[in-house]
Amino acid sequence: MASATEDVLSDRVAIVTGGGSGIGRAIAIRFAQAGARVGVLDIALDPAEATADAIRTGKGTAEAVICDVTRMDEVNGAFALVQERLGALDVLVNSAGVSHIGTVESTDDADFDRIFDVNVKGVFHCLKAGVRAMKDRGGVILNIASVASTVGIPDRFAYSASKGAVLTMTYSVARDYIDSKIRCNSVAPARVHTPFVDGYLKTNYPGREAEMFEELSRTQPIGRMGRPDEIAALALFLCSDEAAFITGTNFPIDGGFLTLKG
């Protein structure tokens, strides 16, 4: 697998949605270390700027752009701005997403619509803009799915449904645009230690955060949560020429969750 010190994305332009925090931030920084010029898209400008500043501190090139992926007009504007400033798009990573805790009974219409607006419609909008940008010259698209795309996880009704859609959109784009030399894959992380996890523990288990963190970590057969930089390492490989023979595939990165659990 490619290391961050190799210029495997040299002279490539990448857009990473949700690049202001968590997995998206780790991917944006890792891609810049590998030579890419990175458009960091996020719904909030300050986190996007923080990621871009970290990239520039490491002598990389980045452009922070505010973008609500649920709005097609904002996506089109953000993609156009990145390409105007950094060059034609080569790589797209759809990392922007939100989570939700709940069963079918406890999920209301507003919860369901919010999850699908971001996780499904948002990916749809970015896929549309990305394919349009790459169709005449080829490129690579990587979607961030989840282990919840393929197995039942308690209290994740809407989230699981949305990530299942991300997975099947991945297959569809890979099939439809293989002749346009666009590769499209997805990765399916299990639980990764991101700011969402910390916020969830603080909200639901005040005073017991450390205890519950360890309990959640033990739900992974490997005995810990994943790290964003580990997801970024796999993303770098899949978006590099080293993975030129890979398309239409979903890659679990889950500490054994899918195959060793139980």
For residue 196, what pLDDT is reported?
82
Average pLDDT over residues 92-103: 96
As a CATH number, domain 13-190+227-252 is 3.40.50.720
pLDDT higher than threshold 60 for residue 191: yes
pTM for the whole thing? Answer: 0.95
d(CA 10, CA 128): 25
Helix (H/G/I), strand (E/B), else coil: 110:
helix
Question: Which active-site residues does the annotation give?
Answer: 159
Structure tokens at 39: 């458009």
d(CA 157, CA 107): 8
d(CA 177, CA 41): 24
Per-residue pLDDT reduced to its tens digit, 157-170: 999 999 999 999 99
pLDDT higher than threshold 60 for residue 1: no
Residue 36 corresponds to which amino acid?
A
Helix (H/G/I), strand (E/B), else coil: 101:
coil
For residue 262, what pLDDT is reported?
61
Domain boundaries along the sequence of the chain: 13-190+227-252, 193-225
Per-residue pLDDT reduced to its tens digit, 19-67: 999 999 999 999 999 999 999 999 999 999 999 999 999 999 999 999 9
Split at pLDDT 50, 70, 90, the class of 204 is confident
How do 13-17 and 91-94 pair as beta strands?
parallel
Average pLDDT over residues 242-253: 98
